[in-house]
Amino acid sequence: MLTDEFGREVSGVRVSLTDRCNFDCIYCHNEGLGDTRGPMDPQDDEMGTDDVVRFLEVAAEFDVDAVKFTGGEPMLRQDLEEIIERTPEGMEVSLTTNGTFLPGRAEDLVDAGLERVNVSQDALDPEDFAAVTKSGAYDKVLEGVDAALEAGLDPVKLNMVVFEHTAGYVPEMVDHVAENDGLQLQLIEYMPELTGKPEWNIDIQRVHDWLAEQADEIEHREMHDRKRYWIGGGDGTDGDRSDSNAGRGMVEIVDPVENPTFCANCHRVRVTHEGYLKGCLNRNDDLRPMGEMTKPEIREAFREVVANRVPYYGEYMVRNGDGEWELNDEYLDLPA
């Protein structure tokens, strides 16, 4: 397993299969690349099926044991089932999707080897949902969640980006996952530096504080320094959760912004749909092409991107005298 300069082993990869999407979410940062989404038809710049599989085979050589497929909307790829089926044995496969294509395909995805799924759902009201996603597919997303559960993908994590437009929906969403077995909620901190709308940002600590007041149990995950809040019902013990979680909602906050501990525990690198490796979601100055996607080229690029990983908030990015984030000269190649 490759280890970067800061002692972080790279045990997972996140692979974008396309930047195409049938939604137009107002907060989308497209895997840190900005809003570059194109037409709905397959594009020549997307990695082919064999390219994706070849990359995963190399990643497995370096003992990577988990892959998450994402996009855009990865289920626009009609070869998704084949890619999952050809993923190296022993590598956990998960998927992030908006859920609209899960009806009719969830069972085939599970048969191919899909083990976990995250479904983006930012509101429980169709009009509110449409305002955020610019899509009228609310009912189809609910169908997709049900299809995932019926196919055996339990739990299904609902991804909700928390910012000015959605913060008021959090209590209702927490109740929703508490009342529906098999659902969990993942609240994702809005990243204004990637989306260009800093005025939409909220103080994520307020959400932590509110959840702490509601929770009857709080877990702390070392990975990324995350907290999990169990809300509603249960006896507040650390016993067998399979028996005690009926009527309880599990809520987890993903809050990397200005959280150096989050980055200090990051064990994942990313791959863009065009076949570029990147060591961090929040950086685009470290993109490493994998050439013609031969295995020697992939190995070289993989080693290089891991070797060039840097911390983020607090080290790689530091506050200047005006309180703005800027690159730390320590990590720049400055002329002699």
User: What does the block give as tokens for 58?
Assistant: 């190399």
Determine the Cα–Cα distance for residues 111 and 200; give it in Å rounded to an integer. 41
Q: Is 269 annotated as a binding residue?
A: yes
- Answer yes or no: is 96 a known binding residue: yes
> Which neighbouring-strand residues pair with 261?
none
251 marked as binding residue? no
- Percentage helix, strand, coil for the chain under 3-state DSSP, each rounded to 5: 30, 20, 45
Q: Residue 92 belongs to what H/E stretch?
A: strand 92-97
> Per the structure block, which two tokens stand in for 336?
């002699």
Q: Is 68 annotated as a binding residue?
A: yes
280 is in an annotated binding site: yes
Q: Is 54 annotated as a binding residue?
A: no
The answer to whether the beta carbons of residues 184 and 156 sit under 8 Å apart is yes
Which residues have a Cβ under 8 Å from the Cβ of 263 and sit 6 or more positions away? 256, 280, 311, 312, 313
- Residue 314 marked in a binding site: no
CA 164/CA 61 separation, integer angstroms: 43
- 331 annotated ligand binder: no
Residue 288 carries which DSSP code?
Answer: E
**Is the bond preceding 113 in cis, omega lying within 30 degrees of 0?**
no
Annotated binding residue 113? no
Measured torsion, CA atoms of residues 115, 17, 162, 98, in degrees rounded to the nearest 10: -70
**Is position 263 annotated in a ligand binding site?**
yes
Of 184, 182, 68, 74, residue with least CA distance to 121: 184
Residue 72 assigned to a binding site = yes
Whether 227 has a binding-site annotation, put simply, is no
- Is residue 288 marked as binding? no
Q: Does 36 show up as a binding residue in the annotation?
A: no
CA–CA gap between residue 86 and residue 81 (Å, rounded): 9
Handedness of CA 277, 69, 159, 251 (dihedral sign): negative
Report how far residue 151's alpha carbon sits from residue 320's, in angstroms, rounded to the nearest whole number.
51
Q: What's the first-to-final CA gap in the chain, in angstroms?
A: 34
Pick out the residues of the known binding site for S-adenosyl-L-methionine. 27, 72, 120
Pick out the residues of the known binding site for GTP. 14, 68, 96, 157, 268-270
Pick out the residues of the known binding site for [4Fe-4S] cluster. 21, 25, 28, 263, 266, 280
Pick out the residues of the known binding site. 14, 21, 25, 27-28, 68, 72, 96, 120, 157, 263, 266, 268-270, 280
